[in-house]
Structure 1
Amino acid sequence: MRAAVSYVNQGLGTAILVGREEHVEETARAAGLDLNRPGIEVINARLSSRNAAYADYLYEKLQRRGYLARDCLRLINNDRNHFAACMVALGDADGMVTGVTRNYATGLDDVRRVIDSKPGHRMVGVSIALCRGRTVFIADTAVHEMPTAAELADIAVEAAGMARRMGYVPRVALTAFSTFGHMGGERSARIQEAVRILATRHVDFEFDGEMSTDVALNPKLMEQYPFIRLSGPANVIVTPDNHSASIAADMLQELGGATIIGPLLVGLDKPAQIVTIGAKDSDIVNMAAITAYNATN
């Protein structure tokens, strides 16, 4: 609720809070917040006039995945994530931010039940690291636990697209423990295959791999590989799996003093983002601002 007030005070847009009015108002009073202002709406999912339309939409998507019509109506009535995602899917809201009260995986599953990937795209989690005057996009930090070579290629495309939308010229390094075949293994082979797949797609950004992260980021080390196809240090890092991507982002934040934004979900047909449990008000506002930006661009 503090994030909603801050979002509106900064003129970023309208904030919609999904919850029981009396509970929201009681909690707001206890926190010293005034929600009775232009730009803040409170919607009770159970009492919404759109419930039937949302339940029908959800049932159409889930009927062959073990859900009955009454199951979908129950989800709409009782679960904020499904209700909010249906608001976005059917155009009653421009985007959604969730995650403060439940774990990331649960929020991700909820969103994926309702909002599809954009046609021709793959849903990917990208974290933005701001550290020592540099900005680096790290993927996939959320969705694909052990991606195939084809999925790694898609992850590179989605992360590069996000970097470009943020105003950067993407230079993508597909990273591994090994560098260009030295001390390779099965995961290195997947990275090498992903590089070959990208080459066949004739993508419009620089990429190369497999390489260790220090080579990808350090221009002095890059000089040892004059054949490298990056014109400078990478600003997009694609890792072999989401464990290593998430660990890298967390370590940059905790040990390197980096500011980490995300993971940000890209490749969805409609804007939806998930913050982590314990996210600060500023984190939620930043995520909402990015969601609004994606909705209008």
Structure 2
Amino acid sequence: MELLNQIKENAKKANKKIVLPEGTEERTLKATEILLKEGIAQIILLGNPETVKANAASLGVCIDGATIVDPATDSNRDAYADIMVEIRKKKGLTKEKALDMLNDPLCFGPIMIKAGHADGEVAGAINATGDVLRPAFQFVKTLPGMSVVSGAFLMFLKDKTFGHEGVMVFSDCAVMPETNDKQLAEIAVATAKTAKAIVGMDPKVAMLSFSTKGSAKHDVVDKVANATKIAQEMAPEFKIDGELQLDAAIVEEVAALKAPESPVAGKANVLIFPSLEAGNIGYKLVQRLAGAQAVGPVLQGMAAPINDLSRGCSVSDIVNLVAITATQAAG
């Protein structure tokens, strides 16, 4: 796809160091070969070097050019532990406990980023989302002014009349089960920034609900309406409007009837769902029934790009998410 190819080209220019904690895993090794061959990013694989190389050899995969780091023996362990203790000293973290935590590649990766030895991370091919994100939250933390992390999906639609030439961004589909109005507003602003930085689109953000401009009354509608106002105040440079029903957000004929004054209705390319439940169901419906390609989740709100894969991911999914992560790291 043209956009994915452009993202890869942007990643090549950025030449960022991306750490892959699941360095012995089959799809990760196959993706590494592609990433190195295409020059998309510098790759750091975590794991015992002998095991990593043996697994690659058994797969017939060439990973020459990758840096292999063993969390159990790396010379930076002591310095990394000091960083961890400084960050978590109020939580009672000791040096001994920190050194033990560093044996886990999912902890080691974020500390590499914190120390400036890597620019981003991609993991989750064989680990649960919670296990990937926990050390990221603890040590990398969120961007200044952000209280919430969310997960956006780039949706590549077959029907190019929707979104930005067939590309839409959906959020939050991966992280926050429940949000208040301020958090939902932060997610909207973060997703607009993702859409602009990664996709290059002019974001038109629809705050979705089962109501359009007061057509229904309920506390959850009020939350979306309030979040819309907060998001507009947070980021007046973006077109953000709501609350909007889905058809009013993306179908011009419906928008003309339900929200004729809206700068977003009928033209939305970024959809903000009112809950994780709705977002997760929504992106999977579009993926499965409309045959869209879903790339992500792209995590938003972190102080450094750390992205989580689905355990059902393909090799190409890993390649694409590394390219996106490198693009995020480029700023």
TM-score class, shorter-chain normalisation, is over 0.9
Q: Within 5 A, what are the aligned runs for 1:4-15?
A: 4-15=32-43
- Does the Cα contact within 8 Å between 1:63 and 1:69 map onto a contact in 2? no
How many equivalent residue pairs? 294
CA–CA distance in structure 2, aligned partners of residues 84 and 136 of structure 1: 30
The reply to whether residue 258 of structure 1 matches residue 292 of structure 2 is yes
* Partner Cα distance (2:260, 2:322) in 1: 42
Compute the displacement of 1:252 (Å).
Answer: 1.0
2:156 aligned with 1:119: no
CA distance in 2, matches of 1:283, 1:92: 24
Shift of 1:105: 2.1
- Cα distance change on mapping 1:265 and 1:211 into 2, 3 Å: same
* Residue in 2 that maps onto 1:64: 90
Q: Any idea what the Cα deviations from partners look like across 1:98-135, whole Å, max 9, x if unmatched?
A: 11111112211122122111212343211111112211
Give the TM-score normalised by structure 1.
Answer: 0.94
- Is the 1:130–1:136 contact (alpha carbons within 8 Å) kept by the matching residues of 2? yes
Identity of aligned residues (%): 29
Aligned-pair RMSD on alpha carbons? 1.5
Alignment counterpart, residue 160 of structure 1, candidates 192, 204, 210: 192
Matching residue of 1:181: 214
The match for 1:46 among 67, 72, 76 is 72
Contact 1:153/1:197, CA 8 A, preserved across alignment:
yes
Tell me if structure 1 keeps the 8 A contact 2:106–2:131.
Answer: no
5+ long unaligned stretches in structure 2? 1-28, 161-165
Q: Distance in 1 between matches of 2:107 and 2:51?
A: 19
CA distance 1:241–1:150, shift in 2 (3 Å): same
Q: Specify the alignment match of 1:169 in structure 2.
A: 202
- Partner amino acid, structure 1, of 2:306: A
1:234 deviates by: 0.5
- CA drift of 1:197 comes to 1.8
- How far residue 217 of structure 1 moved from its aligned partner, in angstroms, is 0.9
Q: 1:214 offset after TM fit, Å?
A: 1.6
Distance, in Å, in 2 between the alignment partners of 1:82 and 1:229 is 44
Pick from 321, 324, 329 the counterpart of residue 287 of structure 1: 321
After the TM superposition, which residues 81-100 of structure 1 pair with which residues of structure 2 at under 5 Å, given as runs?
Answer: 81-100=106-125
Q: Aligned-pair distance for 1:92? A: 0.6
* Structure-2 change in CA distance of 1:58 and 1:237 (3 Å): same
Query: Within 2, Cα distance between the matches of 1:169 and 1:4?
Result: 32
On the 8 A contact 2:206/2:242 being kept in 1, the answer is yes
Q: Is the 8 A contact 1:178 1:188 kept in 2?
A: yes
Letter in 2 for 1:20: N
What is the rounded CA distance, in whole Å, between the counterparts of 2:78 and 2:221 in structure 1? 50
Question: Which residue identity lines up with residue 182 of structure 1 in the other structure?
Answer: S
**TM-score, normalised by the number of residues in structure 2:** 0.85
CA distance in 2, matches of 1:267, 1:251: 25
Shift of 1:196: 2.2
Match of 2:176 in 1: 144
